[in-house]
Structure 1
Amino acid sequence: MADISQEIDQLRNAVYGEEVRGAFISCMQKIHEENESYNSIKESINQSVTTMQEQVESINTKSEEVKAALQNLTTAIANGKDQQDAIEKATAAGKTQQTAIEKATSESKTQQTAIEKATETSKTQQTALQKVVDSAKQIDSAIQQSVTAANTAANNASAATKSATEATSLANQSAEAAKTATTNANDATEKTNAAVKNASDTTEQAAQATSAANAATENANQATVAAKSATQEALTQAEEAKQAAASVRDDCYPMMFRNYDGRTYSVFFEDADETMVCTGTKEDDNADVATPVPSTNAVRNENPYDEIPLFKPVECNGYADEGGELHITAVKGEPEFRTDGTKGDVCIALKTGYVRTIIDTVGIMGPLGKKGTKISVTDSWRESEYPGFPFIPYTAAIRPDGSVRPYVLIPKYQAVNFNSSYYSLPGFAPAYNVSHNGQITTFRKRGDQYCGETCSDAEIWETLFMIVFANMNSQAVMVGCTGFADQYMAAVAEENVERIILTKKQAEYFPIGCCVSIGEMGSSTNKDRGQSYMHNLANRVKVTKIEALDDDSGNYALYVDNGGVTFNTSTTTCISTMPWHTGSTDKVKGTCGSPYSNTNGKEPFKFLGIEFALGQYVVRSDVILNGVYDAEADTYQQEIYTCYDCKYFATAINEHYKKLGYVIPDSGNAWKYIKNLGFDVNFPHIRMASEYGGDSNKRFGDAVHTGTRANGTRGFLSLGSLGDWSLAGLRFAVLYGWLGGGGWYFSARPSLTGRRGSVVDWALSMGVNLAA
């Protein structure tokens, strides 16, 4: 990546415009050279692509050879099958001839047996004749009988001879038939041998074709391996080029925040003992900047602060690495920008500011010459014209080593459940049941560098809000969703719907786009939103439209987006308002404002592009309060402990937590409005109630509740829930809950600046004296 550290140093130390121009030109030249390197890599990639194309063509050629070989193999197999059929037919014919031979042989054996029998008979007759002749010689009177017997024997002999002749003829015929059968069998055998030879030849051809196919396949495999290797090499080069480009972007994005104007934007609030008004006076360079009017979805009002670098938000994707360093991965408007979590959280990037707080309790002889508090912010560090009151960087911008980041990343949205953790993304029902202790575990699934919202994050919007609007009371400008807690029963029962019927007045209570839950209560009378049945028909869904029914009832139908899942309603069905979805202010024109009304108490708002007040408390992660009750004196107060590095956040106070130099007074187990805020120069980002007084229209206009008097640790809940009304605001604080407590109205906001160094670390590195 381009080494532009020297140019960055030149930019930091530049005094004259020409020095800035020269450093910037040098920086761009280096980036240009880096781009040239990138073009070289790109050319190499193109060559690799050409090589890959040639290899692919080779693969295609080999594939054609394989196809041809496979076709030959198919033809050979077909011929083999034909030869096999011929062999089977010849074998069948041979078997038929064999049967004929066996039959002829059997007949021949039968005739032979007849011949042997006739011959035996002839021998017997011959013996008898010989006896007759002998008897004739001896007995003359028996001659005639002997002659007769001889004639008879002769006839028998002739018959036997004839039978023998016939048998011989039959035997000859059988032998001829056997010969013919043998000839046929020999022919069949020759044909069989020929068929076998042909089959053997075909098999040899098939084997050759198979061998050719295997060779072609091997060549194709080798070509594929080569192509894969070339592809991988190209991908590696592309990834290296991508990383190089990302590295250049990592160097260039901070340059967006290097345009210093050196101006000081201040606001002065009179001392509370002089006046309890919530408004102040813009001073220094801020005096010439008009106070903006918040916008809506329909109307864009002018906001001159959008053109001042220190106040100009940059919507982007970003993340924090393990060391806590911030990285911007894409800026809105670039094709890489995403809101689906694939490029990290959706954040607002702000130029690092340096804040100076001067509290003058003396007046004429004091540092300001008048009693009150002056808060100033500038875009670069410099010596303060008020000795002992230094400019201090946003604590969110201080790195663990004490150096200062050029910008900070503030998650734009409240936390949503995503990828087993909490992220800043639009379009979700916000996370709920969040506790101080629980969110430590949940955020650490993303890494030790992530945590919930910190007082360092809040310091930025709390400070800039007072400077922009010259007002300590945020609800005097934008109320937020803090008075939107109504619940109504269905007026009419329906089946298979995604709506609920209400009276006209009830339906008009709900702004389009707000979030509701619909539940069938049955016989229950408890409408606590923490009950599961309050969400059993439609759970935290958006209102899509409201329209009058086509009847004489005067009722209205309120439709919700339940994802196409219909439900039945009855007169025991209840609809409840719920915290708005994240991203509900995205259609507001400009960087601050609410969807329809900034003052009706039903809607969230955004400031500096950051979305606030959806209707839930946001749990602060870096503060643990320690309640101290003195029974003898019957007094109670809360000590404030904080930890700078989220890597060491814990469920109890440990050695990494430091105690602030002021305490929060007892509110008497009731709500009390803030009159003054405490201040510790070592922890300037944590400004909590140090004195009570006034009401919702005076001073800060926000309330604090410290709970019952009891020793033990407590958590810090900010902003306000659906029904806190005028108690709520940017300085609002619920300080009585235990660290493991949660509920449907407990949420979170991710923080990317949890790994921080302390103000003391920064002051030591700069040689700044923090003590007044």
Structure 2
Amino acid sequence: MADSSVFTTDLGAVTAYADAKAHGYTGTREEFATLLANAGNNLAEANAAKTAAQASATQAGQSATAAAASAKAAASAVGATFYGVEFTGSTSAGTRTGAAAEFVFTPGTDTSAGQNDFDGVYPWAGMRRCCCTLNADGTVTVNAYKGQPGYIEDGTNGEVLVEVPLFYVSGMLDVNPRVSAVPMPGFRAPKKFQNADGSLKQKCYLPAFPGSIGADGKLHSIAGVVSTGNKTISQFLAAARLWGETYSIGTSADFEVLAYLMIVAYGTRNVQAKMRGVSNLYTTNIAVTGALTSEAAVIVAKGALEVGNVISIGTGSEDESIAKRRIVTAVEAIDGDSANVKVSFDGDAVTTTTAHKVWRIMEATGTANSVISTCGSPVSNTDGKHSFVFYGCENPLYGNQWRFECDWKIVDGVPYICNDTNYNWSSVENYTKLDSLTLPNEGWAKNLQADERFPWLQITKEVGGSSGTHLADYFYINKSGTRIVLRGASSRNGGPAGAFYLYLYSDASWLGWNSSADLSIPG
């Protein structure tokens, strides 16, 4: 651990601490010093790891990346600088600013570590998975962090969450987003870190995995399951509220935390250009090429399915009459048959014939666990067929399934945001009308807008872009009646998918396999 005493005596750091206290920071001077010191405390350790890892090119490369990032962090920590990116014109890629000016972000895979200079700086360096007990009052009790005894992702030691340390942001996401580990002039704490009394949380929690409703009826964040679909937004919210009355499904405050961290790290508004996510996996009518009797398996052409795929089997298209939402657990060669493979899946045995078809739907939770770096996808970041992980969060913001966002809606084309957590879709009571925002018609999003009272909610302002310019995401809207919010797109949406892809088209009765919800933790 680096010596933090320099940060407690340096005039700039002392001033920063005073400013932090004025903005609601509740930690001690020593804790604040540790926060600053953490930006550079990995340099010596990273160099030692690099030396020790000479026998492994992958490990050595990963350690070198951490060392480079830590060196940059150490040089700027006392100055309490920011990490940012600036976008101009129609180009989706931006120019890195502040202490991130020379940073590189190259996501990894299950065989390559890539290069990610953000690994060595806060708040990214402080994000970590943990098993947690969710208390009825909205607080979280951490049972074990990843790497500690007791850490397990199947739900037997609590929900799997990602702990995020307090940070500050400034600028619009589509223009000049900036992130700082400490308060700076013009910066604000994201909504997720703000308590009702104006004080600040020193950390918040995000779900590590897409939401799944268990046998207990609750909405969970665990690995090794199929994320739930075919529920309405009200049903998902009710499942989350079984944990306690302040729990919820994803909100614009959850989006804000991930969006600032992601856009600054990616360095582009076109998030799919960095990690495409599960946006091109969906396909139906995969031929069954051999019959099997009473087996939890199916025979298909080689390359049609992978471990982790969620599949159904039926008579064609999206039919599920033979097997429903099964997770592929193994793909095995067949002796004497070079064209086909035997694919095993979880659940009960079934009988299949060559008259049946397989529907490849999406990816199960936990399928990005094989990635050897903090950010990346197994196998490929560009094929659109694999889950991705971003600092412990799997498939956040886009891909696999649409995600409900429950704290705002549109009524006759005008956005409304709820004043507390009493979300509903039948009236505007207890909602604030954002009539300063004029929403465009359908099209490719160009830029964003926000009401100054609710800066965390940033919605499409203009359309007229394309799949490779501006925000590079699509904007759907129905300006008649009350419309709920879906974000990100599913495994079949391809190019239009992304963090800024909004679907403001359906009413509260909407449900489908391709729409889900993530657990939102208040504490």
TM-score by length of 2: 0.81
Deviations 1:288-341 (A, max 9, x none): 3x2221111122123221111211211113355455445434322232434233
Q: 2:80 aligns with which of 262, 265, 275?
A: 262
Q: 2:160 aligns with which of 327, 346, 354?
A: 346
Q: Secondary structure at the match of 1:15?
A: helix
- The separation in 2 between residues aligned to 1:467 and 1:539, in whole angstroms, is 36
> 1:697 is matched with which residue?
468
Given that 1:354 and 1:379 are in contact with CA atoms closer than 8 Å, whether structure 2 keeps it comes out as yes
Q: 1:639 aligns with which of 414, 417, 436?
A: 414
Q: 1:483 aligns with which of 280, 304, 315?
A: 280
Indicate yes or no: 2:175 matched with 1:373.
Answer: yes
Q: How does 1:640-655 map to 2 (within 5 A)?
A: 640-646=415-421, 648-655=422-429
Q: 1:684 to 1:22 in 2, by over 3 A?
A: closer
> 1:462 is matched with which residue?
259
Given that 1:603 and 1:614 are in contact with CA atoms closer than 8 Å, whether structure 2 keeps it comes out as no
> 1:191 is matched with which residue?
none
Q: 1:294 aligns with which of 100, 107, 112?
A: 107
> 2:327 is matched with which residue?
541
- The separation in 2 between residues aligned to 1:331 and 1:442, in whole angstroms, is 26
- The separation in 2 between residues aligned to 1:341 and 1:353, in whole angstroms, is 29
Q: Secondary structure at the match of 1:443?
A: helix
- The separation in 2 between residues aligned to 1:474 and 1:725, in whole angstroms, is 13
Q: 1:318 to 1:654 in 2, by over 3 A?
A: farther
> 1:215 is matched with which residue?
none
Indicate yes or no: 2:229 matched with 1:432.
Answer: yes
Given that 1:297 and 1:587 are in contact with CA atoms closer than 8 Å, whether structure 2 keeps it comes out as yes
Given that 2:190 and 2:257 are in contact with CA atoms closer than 8 Å, whether structure 1 keeps it comes out as yes
Report how many residues are paired.
Answer: 459
Q: 1:464 to 1:621 in 2, by over 3 A?
A: same
Q: 1:331 aligns with which of 136, 145, 148?
A: 145
Indicate yes or no: 2:415 matched with 1:415.
Answer: no
Q: 1:481 to 1:658 in 2, by over 3 A?
A: same
Deviations 1:553-599 (A, max 9, x none): x5302312234x43222222111112211111111111111111011
> 1:120 is matched with which residue?
none
Q: Tell me how far 1:355 sits from its aligned partner.
A: 1.1
Indicate yes or no: 2:395 matched with 1:600.
Answer: no
Q: 1:662 to 1:298 in 2, by over 3 A?
A: same
Q: 1:664 to 1:746 in 2, by over 3 A?
A: same
Deviations 1:53-74 (A, max 9, x none): xxxxxxxxxxxxxxxxxxxxxx
Moved over 6 A (4+): 16-22
Deviations 1:183-240 (A, max 9, x none): xxxxxxxxxxxxxxxxxxxxxxxxxxxxxxxxxxxxxxxxxxxxxxxxxxxxxxxxxx
> 2:401 is matched with which residue?
616
> 1:508 is matched with which residue?
303
Q: Secondary structure at the match of 2:178?
A: strand
Gaps of 5+ in 2: 1-7, 19-26, 35-76
- The separation in 2 between residues aligned to 1:543 and 1:663, in whole angstroms, is 48
> 2:130 is matched with which residue?
316
Given that 1:453 and 1:620 are in contact with CA atoms closer than 8 Å, whether structure 2 keeps it comes out as yes
- The separation in 2 between residues aligned to 1:730 and 1:558, in whole angstroms, is 36
Q: Secondary structure at the match of 1:731?
A: coil
Percent identity over paired residues = 24
> 1:15 is matched with which residue?
14
Structure 1: which amino acid aligns with 2:431? Y
Larger Cα-atom Rg = 1
Q: Secondary structure at the match of 2:293?
A: strand
Q: Tell me how far 1:449 sits from its aligned partner.
A: 1.5
- The separation in 2 between residues aligned to 1:400 and 1:464, in whole angstroms, is 23
Q: 2:94 aligns with which of 274, 280, 286?
A: 280
> 1:684 is matched with which residue?
455
Structure 1: which amino acid aligns with 2:220? Y
- The separation in 2 between residues aligned to 1:453 and 1:426, in whole angstroms, is 18
> 2:520 is matched with which residue?
751
Indicate yes or no: 2:408 matched with 1:656.
Answer: no
Structure 2: which amino acid aligns with 1:450? Y
Q: Secondary structure at the match of 1:665?
A: coil
Structure 1: which amino acid aligns with 2:201? R
**The structure with more helix, counted as a fraction of residues:** 1
- The separation in 2 between residues aligned to 1:309 and 1:22, in whole angstroms, is 17
Q: How does 1:147-186 map to 2 (within 5 A)?
A: none
Given that 1:417 and 1:431 are in contact with CA atoms closer than 8 Å, whether structure 2 keeps it comes out as yes
- The separation in 2 between residues aligned to 1:24 and 1:405, in whole angstroms, is 14
Indicate yes or no: 2:194 matched with 1:398.
Answer: yes
Q: Tell me how far 1:681 sits from its aligned partner.
A: 2.2
Indicate yes or no: 2:364 matched with 1:591.
Answer: no
Gaps of 5+ in 1: 1-8, 28-258, 360-371, 385-389, 628-637, 756-772
Q: 1:550 aligns with which of 319, 330, 336?
A: 336
Structure 2: which amino acid aligns with 1:400? A
- The separation in 1 between residues aligned to 2:99 and 2:365, in whole angstroms, is 35
